[in-house]
Copies of this chain bind each other. A is one copy, B any other.
């Protein structure tokens, strides 16, 4: 009684999210399982981009800052995003990159916890997050210290010197999901804050920041949110911290009166103080159109479909490929919207899959990674991907010379 393609066709027919697929450009003949790196293009984003460039920039020019509300874009988009990550609309701003936003919030967390020096994270965290922490600590000298401990030891490592714990909600490589509520509570019990990087969960899971009493968060606009390559990122500051947090990247957009052009910086009283320079309005336009789709979608349905697709994928791939080792958690509640397997020939296997139109990605040394985006993928895509993987791995239909190539590069 194993699962058949017909079973998955039936699931597609019954899928309440199926109607969203047609709102995206999904390339013909491709099974795109890399939406965790770059989401597909929403059709509305293409139109919005053209309209923003042609009419707002081209025709209305400088007046668009007011007439078309450009000046409000970071908070307008933040308000939409807030709805899908369990925040209030005045707690989220869309701006800068994830890296820049993390820098702001870690420095901000230190400002909220004077006397504490330690920034706690885990080895193998998303690399740019660790790099940013290292850069900030380098700048602050003996006023801050970075400590990394294994994920399972993080809670025990929080002590009286811990200002802030910086963790990625869903691990970029394995898909492991941290228990946001439990870790947040444990940190707060010891007087520390947590910054959650939602880059690999926002848009794929029913993130509930306020349900977890989260303090601070950042995240990425171009993965599951489908905002376009290098889309603006976002940040979340719980209301209770907004009046105190200090943003060291104090650009004009974060000023209480940005158009007064006075010499002295005075932070806006609210989330606006986390803004810095002028955002790209073109990039904002594309992300705005992408967010509109999420405002229509039910995030519980999104998370449920994600879990079901990933569960099916594991079942179907394992039935075909005993050679692959599951690296992701088996239980969907402990996992994000991606599934990773390890295999010594991971690199050439992924190259062979891509050549067959199944797009996932490879992460050194041996991980093949598949992301599942509930809004535009079908259950039958899961089937087709598993079939292709079974064929490539089972028949060793890949070029092992490719493995030596990547081994020399990385």
Q: A residues engaging B (CB < 8 A)?
A: 25, 27, 30, 32, 34, 37-38, 40-41, 45-46, 49-50, 53-54, 56-59, 61-65, 70, 96-100, 103, 107, 123-125, 127-128, 130-132, 134-136, 138-141, 143, 148, 173, 220, 222, 228-233, 246-252, 254-255, 259-265, 276-284, 286, 359, 361, 363-364, 410
Question: For residue A97, which residues in chain B have a CB less than 8 angstroms away from its CB?
Answer: 96, 251, 276-279
Per assembly, the copies of the chain total 2
The answer to whether B34 and A62 touch across the interface, beta carbons within 8 angstroms, is: yes
A359 CA / B130 CA spacing, docked (Å)? 47
The answer to whether B277 and A128 touch across the interface, beta carbons within 8 angstroms, is: yes
Residue of B nearest to A410 (CB): B260
A97-B278, A135-B248 given; A40·B54 CB < 8 A: no
3 nearest interchain CB pairs?
A97-B277, A135-B250, A99-B251
A49-B282, A248-B139, A280-B283 given; A229·B57 CB < 8 A: yes
The answer to whether A263 and B359 touch across the interface, beta carbons within 8 angstroms, is: no
Partner of A61, one of B34, B63, B98: B34
A259 CA / B41 CA spacing, docked (Å)? 24
Question: For residue A250, which residues in chain B have a CB less than 8 angstroms away from its CB?
Answer: 131-132, 134-135, 138
The answer to whether B230 and A279 touch across the interface, beta carbons within 8 angstroms, is: yes
The answer to whether B46 and A54 touch across the interface, beta carbons within 8 angstroms, is: yes
The answer to whether B228 and A277 touch across the interface, beta carbons within 8 angstroms, is: no
Question: For residue A363, which residues in chain B have a CB less than 8 angstroms away from its CB?
Answer: 261
Question: For residue A45, which residues in chain B have a CB less than 8 angstroms away from its CB?
Answer: 53
Residue of B nearest to A34 (CB): B62
The answer to whether A61 and B32 touch across the interface, beta carbons within 8 angstroms, is: yes
The answer to whether B228 and A59 touch across the interface, beta carbons within 8 angstroms, is: no
Question: For residue A98, which residues in chain B have a CB less than 8 angstroms away from its CB?
Answer: 277-278
Other than the given A41-B54, A135-B247, 20 more pairs (CB < 8 A) read: A25-B58, A27-B61, A37-B62, A38-B61, A40-B58, A41-B57, A63-B359, A96-B96, A97-B277, A125-B263, A135-B249, A135-B265, A138-B246, A139-B139, A139-B140, A229-B278, A230-B278, A230-B280, A230-B284, A233-B277
What are 19 residue pairs bridging A and B, where the CB atoms are less than 8 Å apart in the complex?
Answer: A32-B61, A40-B58, A41-B53, A41-B54, A45-B53, A46-B54, A46-B58, A49-B49, A57-B228, A96-B97, A97-B278, A99-B277, A132-B250, A135-B248, A139-B139, A139-B140, A222-B278, A230-B283, A282-B283
Question: For residue A222, which residues in chain B have a CB less than 8 angstroms away from its CB?
Answer: 278
CB distance from A46 to the nearest CB of B (A): 5
CB distance from A18 to the nearest CB of B (A): 21
A117 CA / B301 CA spacing, docked (Å)? 55
Question: For residue A135, which residues in chain B have a CB less than 8 angstroms away from its CB?
Answer: 247-251, 265
A32 CA / B41 CA spacing, docked (Å)? 34
Give the residue among A25, A123, A280 with the most B Cβ atoms within 10 A.
A280
The answer to whether A25 and B230 touch across the interface, beta carbons within 8 angstroms, is: no
A131-B251, A263-B127 given; A40·B53 CB < 8 A: no
Question: For residue A132, which residues in chain B have a CB less than 8 angstroms away from its CB?
Answer: 249-251
The answer to whether B41 and A58 touch across the interface, beta carbons within 8 angstroms, is: yes
CB distance from A116 to the nearest CB of B (A): 16
The answer to whether B49 and A364 touch across the interface, beta carbons within 8 angstroms, is: no
Residue of B nearest to A258 (CB): B127
